[in-house]
Amino acid sequence: MIPAVTFTHSGGSQRLEWWVRGVRLAGMIPVVCDDANDPILAPARGWLAAEGVEYRQTTWPRRGNLNGTDTAARICMELAMASTRHGSRMAFKVDDDTVIIRPGRIVPEDGIEAVGLVCPGDGRGGAYGMCYGLRWDLATACAGDLVAGSLNVQAPEDLAVWGAVKRLATEVAELPYCAERGPFAALAWGSCPVDACRRYDVVTVGNPPAAGWIDRPRQTAALMRSIVEAAERLQ
């Protein structure tokens, strides 16, 4: 089984149950990497322990929403170590506000070294950080590449990681966004979860609604719950 690793903090406490259930529904192994400097709340830790979820704490700097080439290197090492611990050829980084509904298109064939979700024409030049997968040897190589390079504390982790992927890998799968039935979508507050589960393989709920968040942890947890429960009913 392939591990799915999330890098969470106190703000993700209410979402973790639904993140774990979504990962397990996709047939993957949940691995929670908590921020020791801003850890998840005690009830969430207790629930993870009761469910037997692998829980780790990290002490390296995250700089808000995972910024810095050094942070990106640490993420790559966590993916490589998760692959080794679970005897898997690769591991996925999956944000705690993201649900993998169907892993079929997301998990690549054996020859592929990395898989990411992209949106052609967005000008970013890299895969989105909500969900990407690295083969264990590439994850290790990317970590070394990022450590050896110049430190950039402002670099978003997904662009830093994908930059290393492009420098080092020869077989990379980039899955493009398609509004009608694409592999992924950012689900807006108030969207139909059943429709999302039928149309997309991966959904994230982290983007703010037009009116802004009233209570982001509660709202994102409620939306994730509706998605996971819809996916369970459709299975």
- Specify the CATH number for the domain of residue 160: 3.90.550.10
**Cα–Cα nearest to 14, from 224, 227, 204, 226:** 224
36 inside domain: yes
Q: Give the C-alpha separation, 109 to 120, whole Å.
A: 23
Query: pTM value?
Result: 0.96
206 inside domain: no
Query: What pLDDT is recorded for position 167?
Result: 97
Query: What pLDDT is recorded for position 166?
Result: 96
Residue 128 zone, left/alpha/beta (φ > 0; ψ -120 to 50; rest): beta
> pLDDT-based confidence at 181, cuts 50/70/90?
confident
Q: How many CB atoms lie within 10 A of CB 52?
A: 8
> pLDDT-based confidence at 5, cuts 50/70/90?
very high
Q: Give the C-alpha separation, 113 to 109, whole Å.
A: 9
Contact by Cβ (8 Å): 114, 164? no
| Portion of the chain with pLDDT greater than 90, in percent | 80
Query: What pLDDT is recorded for position 84?
Result: 98
Token pair of 129 as six digits: 């950080």
Q: Give the C-alpha separation, 187 to 197, whole Å.
A: 11
- The position carrying tokens 């944000």 is 95
Q: What is the CA radius of gyration of the chain?
A: 17
- Provide the strand spans (E) within the chain: 3-8, 29-35, 54-58, 90-94, 98-100, 114-118, 131-135, 172-176, 184-186, 202-204
- The position carrying tokens 């009830």 is 43
Q: Is the dihedral of CA 129, 133, 138, 143 positive or negative?
A: positive
Query: What pLDDT is recorded for position 191?
Result: 84
135 inside domain: yes
Stronger pLDDT, 180 or 102, i.e. the higher one: 102
> pLDDT-based confidence at 206, cuts 50/70/90?
confident
The gap from C-alpha 34 to its chain's centroid, in whole angstroms, comes to 14
Q: pLDDT per residue over 18-48, tens digit each?
A: 999 999 999 999 999 999 999 999 999 999 9
154 class by beta-carbon count within 10 Å (0-12 exposed, 13-18 middle, 19+ buried): exposed
> pLDDT-based confidence at 145, cuts 50/70/90?
very high
94 inside domain: yes
192 inside domain: no
- CA of 129: how far to CAs of 41, 96, 116, 191, in Å? 24, 11, 8, 22
Stronger pLDDT, 61 or 110, i.e. the higher one: 61
State phi, psi for 91 to the nearest 5 degrees: -140, 155
Query: What pLDDT is recorded for position 189?
Result: 80
Which domain covers residue 129, as residue numbers?
3-177
Domains identified in the chain, total number: 1
11 inside domain: yes
> pLDDT-based confidence at 182, cuts 50/70/90?
confident
157 inside domain: yes
7 inside domain: yes
